[in-house]
Amino acid sequence: MGRKIVVALGGNAILSKDASAAAQQRALLETARQLVKFIENGDQLIISHGNGPQVGNLLLQQAAGSTQDNPEMPLDSCVAMTQGTIGYWMQNAMNQVIRERGLDQAVATVVTQVEVSSDDPAFGQPTKPIGPFMNKAEADLAQKQNPEFKFIEDAGRGYRRVVPSPKPIGVIETAAVNTLVDAGIVPITVGGGGIPVVRDGNRLVGKEAVIDKDFASEKLAELIDADALIILTAVDNIYVNFNQPNQKKLKRVSTVELGRYIEQKQFAPGSMLPKVEAAVDFVNTTGKEAVVTALDNIEGFIKEGEGTVIVKQSVSTNV
């Protein structure tokens, strides 16, 4: 077995403007053509993914069609629904590309529960953006139609609903994922950050929340003793002073340096910040490397080490 790597894929990479199933399946087929490069490189791949756009859309659809006899499902169940749907699309896309490349590889989706604390302060402070971007008029209308929802402006790109986002403290299906990995199967797991649950004696009870997929992926990577955590985003590298004349690309950077940049508020809270924080957590906890780069830069990372590599200590190569 080669390197054991957890690759975290954002929900926005699956759904952009067209929310139809066909469009998302087409996007995932292109995603699979990139991800299969890790398999061709001899790596043991573990795939995780977000679901922010998808679960938000599902909640709006359910709220619009809810009746007393056919009520909408709670948020944890909607996370499970989108986790299963995206996993189904992704494993089919991966299987198609694997066959096209003449590889011998199995893929399986694990409906994954992620443990959180019932005392997590996030339950009183909704911060996780989900669903489609809206302009102010659209957000005001959605607020009027759904008075229990909360909407905020998200990173200058429009308005979105926000929900609680507690930190993961465990992955219930860790043993199942390890069994698949030991058998050489590619698991698709902690989809959408996993279904948030708390322990109540022998029971696991779902909570109304969406866990950030980067933090859930970090926790999984830590628990399964992954060799690397790779977080895929919209840009090839992490930047400081992003989109400013003095912007700087980070190529190889230490967790200490990133800590200073976090203190300087260099990273947008709803965008790059959770990716950076998750990468720092993984490196500090395990001593191994994390990488932040773009989906279409996977080949560049595999062949040339392109992207932002986060380590405990580094000799700066940033420009």
Residues of the chain with pLDDT under 50: none
Q: Is 319 within the bounds of a domain?
A: no
In a domain, 316, yes or no: no
Place of tokens 């508020």: 265
Asked whether residue 46 is domain-assigned, the answer is yes
Q: How many domains does the chain have?
A: 1
Say what the pLDDT of residue 192 is: 93
Residue 81: give its domain's CATH number: 3.40.1160.10
Q: Would residue 256 count as lying in a domain?
A: yes
pLDDT for 148 equals 82
Q: Tell me, what's the pLDDT at 68?
A: 82
Give residue 60's domain range.
Answer: 4-311
Domain assignment of residue 262, yes or no: yes
Asked whether residue 169 is assigned to any structural domain, the reply reads yes
Asked whether residue 109 is assigned to any structural domain, the reply reads yes
Catalytic residue annotation: 11-12, 128, 213, 275
In a domain, 318, yes or no: no
CA torsion sign for 274, 276, 279, 285 is negative
